[in-house]
Amino acid sequence: MGADILVVAEHLEGKLAPATLEIVAKGRELAAQAGGSAKAVLLGHGPEALASELASYGLDVLLGDDPALEAYSGGGYAQALASMLAASSPRVLLLAHTAQGYDLAPALAASGDLPLVTNCVDVRLEGGSLVATRRLLNEKVQAEFEIGSDRTYVVTLRPGSVKPATPTGAGAVARVPMTIDGAKALPRFLRIERPEVSDIDIASADVVVSAGRGIQKKENLALVEELAKRLGGVVGASRPLTDMEWLPKTRQVGQSGKTVRPKLYVACGISGAMQHVAGMKDASLIVAINTDPSAPIFEVAHVGVVGNVLEVLPALLKELRG
């Protein structure tokens, strides 16, 4: 059951979590750097189909099946993983930095007396040593830390930091016998309660046209709305606009809003404060319109237009309408 890299899969309602495919990709990369193998752990009750799906991403899957693992519980998962960790002593135990990952990772590190490195945006093995990249000081600074080489390290990787794995051919699925003490699998899962969806999800849009304070008046948002519509996209915003309630909070892009990765992001009158950029810098194509040629948004934009949005947007719409 030994593996150099052990990736902990997450799933909900019969679907693998998107962040799991990202840590699978990173796990495979780390295994290549270690000259070894990566395996994934999938826990649940009767999750064979999911295990086969996971194995299609090119790594072997260790399947832990127990009624106490039917739904995620920190206690149940920690018990199952602690026994797998003891048996395999991987170099890296990799989890996604999700609500589940940051519930589980510290518990595992504490129970095995293992070092824990959280919320990494990248991680690699260099000359046998683990090097983690993390963002510090409110995302202003990106720092690399050489962590060490002599232990099993528990690492969580921030979702959206790496490209998800694509299927590459089937690995093997092996059932790992385990007994979970249900009484210790606390807290217990009761039910899923979903928030009412009151607006569109900007995080899943291919095109996001965002307005910032440079738009000047709420009425001018009509220009941004029309551009978004004509490009088949949705309207996003910087924080001041949602604070002023010109747009709902669900449209806010940035550190305290949503992270978006659209194919096209158009920033209209947005300065490019780091808290905003944190939520959109990974868009494939960034177009920025700003009157100030030294606005920081131009540092991340692929296409920059120095101009007044109230002139540029009408001109652009005229072209698109024609």
Ligand X SMILES: Cc1cc2nc3c(=O)[nH]c(=O)nc-3n(C[C@H](O)[C@H](O)[C@H](O)COP(=O)(O)OP(=O)(O)OC[C@H]3O[C@@H](n4cnc5c(N)ncnc54)[C@H](O)[C@@H]3O)c2cc1C
Q: How far is the CB of 201 from ligand X (least distance, A)?
A: 16
Taking residues 271 to 290 in sequence order and writing x for each that binds ligand X by CB under 6 A, - otherwise, the string is: x-x-xx--x---------xx
Q: How far is the CB of 18 from ligand X (least distance, A)?
A: 21
315 in contact with ligand X (CB under 6 A): no
Beta-carbon count within 10 A of 229 CB: 14
CA distance 31 to 92: 9
What are 42's strand-pairing partners?
Answer: 63
CA distance 306 to 318: 19
Could you tell me which residues come within 8 angstroms of residue 257 by beta carbon, excluding any fewer than 6 positions away? 239, 242, 249, 251, 279
> Both tokens of residue 227?
């551009």
240 in contact with ligand X (CB under 6 A): yes
> Both tokens of residue 53?
């799906």
112 in contact with ligand X (CB under 6 A): no
Type of residue found at 4: D
| Pairing between β-strand 285-290 and β-strand 303-306 as defined by DSSP bridges | parallel
In terms of CB distance, is 34 or 247 closer to ligand X?
247
Q: How far is the CB of 237 from ligand X (least distance, A)?
A: 7
28 in contact with ligand X (CB under 6 A): no
Q: How far is the CB of 317 from ligand X (least distance, A)?
A: 15
What are 61's strand-pairing partners?
Answer: 40, 173
> Both tokens of residue 301?
């934009």
**How far apart, in Å, are the Cα atoms of 55 and each of 75, 78, 113?**
25, 22, 30
In angstroms, how far is the first alpha carbon of the chain from the final one?
64
In terms of CB distance, is 172 or 244 closer to ligand X?
244
Which of the ranges 2-10, 78-86, 225-233, 254-262 carries the binding residues for ligand X, by CB under 6 A?
Answer: 254-262
CB nearest ligand X: which residue?
A: 254
Q: How far is the CB of 278 from ligand X (least distance, A)?
A: 7
DSSP conformational letter for 165: P
CA distance 103 to 36: 28
Residue choice 93, 209, 223, 295 for contact with ligand X (CB under 6 A): 295
In terms of CB distance, is 104 or 297 closer to ligand X?
297
Taking residues 181 to 220 in sequence order and writing x for each that binds ligand X by CB under 6 A, - otherwise, the string is: -------------------------------xxx------
Closest CA relative to residue 40, chosen from 75, 70, 1: 1
Q: How far is the CB of 282 from ligand X (least distance, A)?
A: 15
In terms of CB distance, is 156 or 220 closer to ligand X?
220
Asked if 42 and 130 touch (Cβ cutoff 8 Å), the reply is: no
Which of the ranges 53-61, 86-94, 107-115, 270-278 carries the binding residues for ligand X, by CB under 6 A?
Answer: 270-278
In terms of CB distance, is 39 or 158 closer to ligand X?
158
252 in contact with ligand X (CB under 6 A): yes
Binding site for ligand X (CB under 6 A): 212-214, 238-240, 252-257, 269-271, 273, 275-276, 279, 289-292, 295, 308-310
